[in-house]
Amino acid sequence: MSGAEKIAVKVTDIVPLNELVTRFKFARVDGGRLPTFSGGAHTVVEMRDGDITRLNPYSLMSDPMDQSAYTISVRRDDEGRGGSLFMHQRVKVGDEMTISYPVNLFSLDLRAKKHLFLAGGIGITPFLAQIKQLERFNGNWELHYACRTESLGSYVDELTNHHPNETHIYYDDQNDKIDLVNLLDGQPLGTHVYVCGPKGMIEWVRGTATAEGWPREAVHYEEFLAPQPGKPFEVKLAVSNKVIQVGETESLLEAIERAGVDAPYLCRGGACGQCETRVIDYTGNFIHRDHWLDDDEHANGEKIMPCVSRFEGKTLVLDR
């Protein structure tokens, strides 16, 4: 079996937060306790949509010590492949779903003398759990959270009410911008910075931190890539001897799974490396979108990460 262990849950609460973001709460079907987790962990939610199964990762935002329920927040993506639309439009309170055990690819460095959190939009969710974890142990933290507008500022009120001194909010439409160089300058030795948000924000923070002389190990980031739709393509799976079609709105990994072939995975967002697959033969172009393979590997056509990457061309043969 691939992926983390599974948990059968039912949806116990659905709260629309604003025009884009809705919060979902899950409890175990059998009434038992959910596993505790570490702040920054995600769960992979299985969505059964007719004969299509989508598995999307979402950061756990509830208190890691609370074993009665997990909560996630889902941002609606009208351009996406339909996972977030399914959650928003089809999932109802009382539905039974399957989620994975927590997996953490964005954990706190517990040695840090201070944790500096930088969030963009829905990227706030892993920090909500990390803040609860740090508060439990009197951790030293500070949050800088950029949102598009006041009405799209999910959890801004909760954060500013509970943590007025640690929380700093920036609204794009009011021309607020995080003064990053000044913020990084003057942080005490042993500070770690964490960024979760859009790709551009992550690159900006990583680049600025490097230029300011911050060590690589003190800069943490998480960007879940949702698989993007694309042109359909055909793939031959050499080990299982199958030819499969990858549809416009499904990922290569999902198409492999739909064909009944067990393929390893964890994050399904191009970060963890578990689904790395060897390319045996190809004629055409890869559309690599992962963070796992390096530039050379993206160029040499020997490997692909089927959770987020696609292919355009005549032949693709995979070692799967």
Partner 1 sequence: MTIQFNDETFRDDYSFFNSDRAIKRFPFPFHEDSYMYSVNMEQHRGGPVDSVYEKRFDVDEHYVAEMRDRAMVLADDPLRCQSLPHMTLAGWDLLELIMVSKSEDYPDLFELHRDGNNWRWVNKPLGIDDSFVFLDETTLPYGPMEYITRQAQGDFCVLDQRDDNLWMDAGMVTTQADWSLDFDIGMNFFEWHAPVPLAHEKGIFVRALKFLLNIQQGAPARRLNWTMTVNPLLDTSPENYHKWGIQKTTLTPENIGAKQHLRVELQTFFRLPRSNALVFPIRCYLCSFQDLMTAPKWGRRLHRVIRDLPEELATYKGFIDNRPMMLDYLSKFDDGLPTSDGIWPDLETEPALKT
Partner 2 sequence: MSKFTFPQSIRSRPVYGTLEQRDGAAHLLIADAEGAEAILDVATPAMMAKAHIVYIPKGAAFEDKLRGLNAASFYAGPSYGAAEQRIHKALADAKMGLQVYLAGTEGLMGQAQNAAMQAGIPHTAIQTEHRGSTARRIQCVHCKGITEDVETDPFVCAHCGLNLFVRDHYSRRLAAYQGVCIDAEDPGNVPEPKGIYE
Residues in contact with partner 1 by CB under 8 A are: 4-5, 35-38, 40-41, 64-65, 101-104, 107, 109-111, 133, 136-137, 217, 266, 272-274
Binds 189, which of partner 1, partner 2, none (CB < 5 to 8 A, cut-off by type)? partner 2
Amino acid, single-letter form, for residue 177: K
Sketch the per residue contact string, 255 through 274, with partner 2: x for CB under 8 A, - otherwise.
--------------------
Task: Compute the least distance from the CB of residue 139 to partner 1, in Å.
Answer: 11
Task: Compute the least distance from the CB of residue 57 to partner 1, in Å.
Answer: 13
Torsion of CA 172, 89, 55, 289, to 10 degrees: -40
Which candidate, 63, 105, 72, places its Cα nearest to that of 220? 105
Among residues 108 and 246, whose Cβ is nearest to partner 1? 108
Pick from 50, 94, 213, 260 the residue near partner 2 by CB under 8 A: 213
Distance CA 58, CA 22 (A): 12
Segment contacting partner 2 by CB under 8 A, of 22-30, 64-72, 180-188, 298-306: 180-188
Q: Could you say which DSSP state residue 297 is in?
A: H
Measured from the Cβ of residue 11, the count of other Cβ atoms closer than 10 Å reads: 17
Among residues 114 and 236, whose Cβ is nearest to partner 1? 114
Q: Tell whether residue 164 is a contact of partner 2 (CB under 8 A).
A: no
Among residues 60 and 184, whose Cβ is nearest to partner 1? 60
Residue 172 near residue 196, CB atoms below 8 Å: no
Distance CA 130, CA 238 (A): 43
Q: Tell whether residue 191 is a contact of partner 2 (CB under 8 A).
A: yes
Among residues 113 and 199, whose Cβ is nearest to partner 2? 113
Q: Tell whether residue 112 is a contact of partner 2 (CB under 8 A).
A: yes
Among residues 1 and 19, whose Cβ is nearest to partner 1? 1
Q: 242 has which bridge partners?
A: 237
Which candidate, 144, 269, 154, 156, places its Cα nearest to that of 208? 144
Which candidate, 227, 104, 103, 204, places its Cα nearest to that of 144? 204
**Strand duo 191-196 + 114-120: pairing:** parallel
| Contact residues: partner 2, CB under 8 A | 111-113, 184-191, 211-218
